[in-house]
Amino acid sequence: KRSPQSSLVTNTPVAMVHADETTHILLVPYPAQGHLNPILQFGKRLAGHGGVRCTVAATRFVVGSTKPSPGSVHVAVFSDGCDAGGPAELGGHKGPYFERLEAAGSEALDELLRSEAASGRPVRVVVYDTFMPWVAPLARRYGAACAAVLTQTCAVDIMYTHARAGRMPVPVSEGDSPLELPGLSSRLGAADVPTFLTDSDAHHPSLRDLLMNQFAGLDAVDHVFVNSFFD
């Protein structure tokens, strides 16, 4: 079975850490299992290196409902403002939940970064899900390096990037295929495109906007991790 790998793009240099120091890395996934799992596995690999402490920030609802197995990774629980029912309290993963998550999550993560520093465990690097771009300014406030993670596959990221730039029609219909997109070697039919970009998509438009806008600001972070694999 082919194992997922993390491809690294470096934008700016970060400060070196001496071998006798502990590098504290905070990982902030979007609070959904499909986003939590890859970032948690990434954290376990990082924690396997000497001198590295990894903490995953997870919402109270996620921790209570999915029971993640952190292993060598520490878990910090924070509130997204929907502790009892998660996103379902606001109709699912739609605009109202994104707004609540940013409002409540910003306050909670700011307090987490402050308390870790006060406890002698300052966070040196914040690895955040691109669904939550508001995390980056928080990291900068505490002098931490920023790394963004695109949890979807690289091919899907390419399609969303072209859609955002207006290089492919949105929504995509059968009459628009075959699609030939730079960066993808195959010609695509409408059935090959993520459902969020097709005319049969029944999801809220704000979720489509979120998926297409997750690439904004990536030129300002220190590292970008992309989900891919070796053939």
The set of catalytic residues is 35, 129
Q: What angle do CA 160, 168, 192 make, to 5 degrees?
A: 65
β-partners of residue 57 are 76
Asked if 115 contacts 142 with a C-beta cutoff of 8 angstroms, the reply is no
Q: How far is CA 213 from CA 50, 157, 159, 200, in A?
A: 36, 11, 12, 21
Count of residues in the chain: 231
Distances (CA, A) of 171 to 10, 131, 178, 184, 210: 33, 21, 14, 19, 15
